[in-house]
Each structure stands twice: as C-alpha cells, then as structure tokens.
C-alpha cells in the first residue's frame, strides 16, 4: 500500500509543473513493462531520423576517453506518454554513468527537504496553482551545478517542456550535447496507456495485453489511473506535441528523433550509437585543444 501511495504522490506533484506535464513511462524494478513495436504510421515532426546525424565511422568509446573529457556528456530526452522514456533513461544511466534528473522528482525532493525553492513551490501547490517556471528552473539549475552532475554529466528527463523554459535554461548557459526525441505512433501510444493497470498492494504495473497479471486474484484488484482513458490520452498527446513543437527552434542543431516503436533493445542500440558518437566528438575537441 505504501508503494501505491508513493506513486499517487508522484503523479500529484508532477501535475503542478508548468506547463501541463506529460505522463511518462516510469517502470519500477518489480513491474517493468516492455511493449512490442507496431507497424502503424506516426505523425512527423519533420526532424532527421536518428542515424542522420551519426558519422559514417566512429571511434569506439573507452573509459580513458570518458575520463579525459573536460566537458562530460549532457543529454536531454523527451517522449510522449508510454513512449518508453523511463526505461531508456534507466539504460542510459546504467551505461554512461550520467546523473538522471527529472523536474518532477526534484520538485518532490525540494518540498520534502523544506528548501527555499520547495517552500515556494508548496505555497502554489496548496492553492491548486501551477508552480512558476522560475522556481522549477532554479531547482534544475541548482541540481545541475552539484558536483556529481558536473563530474559525470547529466540526463535531463522531460524538461524543458516549453519555449519559455528552454529560454530560461539558455540564459543560464545550460544546453545539451544532444536532445533525444522518442517517436512512437499515436495509435500504439494510446493502446499502451489504455491497457495499463496498477496493483495497489504492490505498486507493480501491468498491461492487460502485453504484461497481464499472474493470477485472477491479482487481476481482480487492479486499478486504472483516472486519466488513462483514450479521450484523455489523446488530449495529453496534443499537449505534448504542442510543447515539443515549441522547442524545435531552440534545439534544432542537437535534436534527433529516435524510432520508439521497436523493441527496447533496438531503441537503446540506436541511442547508444548516438551518445557514443557525441562522446567521440567531445573527445576530439579535447584532444585538439
């Protein structure tokens, strides 16, 4: 029951981020859900395919190269609800050792710790208002300036969400080496979200089609999030596409689409290739400096 309450708290605090946030896949260790690909077509954001920016040949990454980098890897990642972003964040963090930073997680942590940013955010939330960009940007900035993020690099998850947030980060000279944009067809996203179910006793996430419960007893107690309906998912998708569209002009030189309607391993293989290439380019700059 504690785990389900924690999950509910996470959803509630994230909903106060401005603009209206996009619910992301955040599979837990005990309840990771992997979805198969689909052949349906997806809407286009008119960006180059993932491999388009990768060099024809790339140098293999080594611990020596990573350690020699004066400027560690900086990554932003975005994806629609149920795009598998949470799973890919776990894989990126595990392989590259970057610090995974989520604005929603920061908001909850700052409030729990009673920091000045947290106190200000809590005042808005208690009034049922969205937390202003300025407060969230300050939280993100402070976290990115901590030693672990400075030394190991960072993975900024689902943020910025709007042009104003992106501009606020730009004024602070916070900019990624690469912006990964997971692309999954709308039809598949809707199917993934509508079929999701939560076990309130264990906090484990199931999917009626792809990861069904192990027994009838578990199936009987599964619940569905109030906004995991087709109508509300489509509204969340529209919000997401509008938000992402507003970021294109800011990150057009570093943003790359990654095909997300294939297997988890195939998605990560493409991401791994892109990050490896980015590291190699940074190593070349260090070597030539």
> Has 49 been annotated as catalytic?
no
How many Å apart are CA 189 and CA 196, to the nearest integer? 11
Average pLDDT, the chain: 80
Residue 273 has a pLDDT of: 97
3-state helix, strand, coil in the chain (%, to 5): 50, 10, 40
111 three-state secondary structure:
helix
> Has 221 been annotated as catalytic?
no
Catalytic residue among 61, 197, 236, 282: 236
> Has 161 been annotated as catalytic?
yes
The sheet carrying 99-102 orders its strands as 99-102, 154-157, 74-79, 178-183, 255-259
The model's pTM is 0.73
Residue 125 has a pLDDT of: 82
Each residue's pLDDT tens digit, 275-287: 999 999 888 887 8
Dump the DSSP string for 168-217: HHHHTT---SEEEEEE--HHHHHHHHHTEEE-TTT--EEETTTB--SSHH
Region 24-53: what's the mean pLDDT?
Answer: 43
Burial of 130 (0-12, 13-18, 19+ CB in 10 A): middle
Each residue's pLDDT tens digit, 10-29: 444 555 565 544 333 333 43
265 C-beta neighbours (distance < 10 Å), count: 10
Is the pLDDT score of 59 beyond 90?
A: no
> Has 192 been annotated as catalytic?
no
Residue 70 has a pLDDT of: 60
Residue 243 has a pLDDT of: 87
Catalytic residue among 58, 59, 175, 225: 225
Catalytic residue among 196, 204, 257, 282: 196
Residue 17 has a pLDDT of: 63
Catalytic residue among 161, 192, 197, 282: 161
Is the pLDDT score of 33 beyond 60?
A: no
């Amino acid at each position: 029951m504690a785990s389900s309450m924690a999950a509910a708290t996470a959803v509630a605090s994230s909903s106060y981020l401005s603009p209206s946030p996009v619910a992301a896949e955040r599979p837990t260790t005990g309840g990771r859900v992997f979805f198969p690909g689909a052949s349906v077509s997806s809407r286009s954001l008119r960006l180059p395919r993932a491999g388009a920016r990768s060099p024809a040949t790339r140098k293999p990454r080594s611990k020596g190269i990573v350690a020699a980098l004066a400027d560690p890897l900086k990554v932003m990642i975005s994806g629609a609800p149920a795009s598998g972003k949470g799973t890919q964040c776990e894989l990126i963090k595990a392989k590259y050792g970057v610090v995974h930073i989520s604005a929603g997680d920061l908001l909850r942590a700052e409030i729990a710790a009673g920091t000045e940013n947290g106190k200000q955010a809590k005042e808005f939330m208690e009034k049922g208002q969205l937390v202003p960009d300025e407060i969230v940007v300050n939280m993100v900035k402070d976290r990115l300036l901590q030693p672990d993020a400075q030394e190991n690099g960072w993975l900024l998850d689902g943020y910025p969400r709007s042009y104003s947030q992106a501009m606020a980060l730009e004024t602070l000279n916070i900019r990624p080496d690469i912006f990964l944009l997971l692309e999954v067809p709308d039809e598949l996203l809707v199917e993934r979200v509508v079929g999701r179910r939560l076990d309130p006793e264990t906090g484990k996430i199931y999917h009626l089609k792809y990861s069904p419960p192990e027994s009838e007893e578990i199936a009987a107690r599964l619940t569905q999030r109030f906004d995991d309906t087709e109508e509300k998912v489509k509204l969340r998708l529209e919000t997401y596409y509008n938000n992402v569209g507003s970021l294109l002009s800011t990150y057009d030189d570093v943003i790359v689409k990654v095909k997300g309607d294939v297997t988890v391993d195939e998605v990560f293989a493409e991401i791994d290739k892109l990050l490896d290439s980015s590291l190699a380019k940074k190593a070349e700059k260090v070597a030539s400096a």
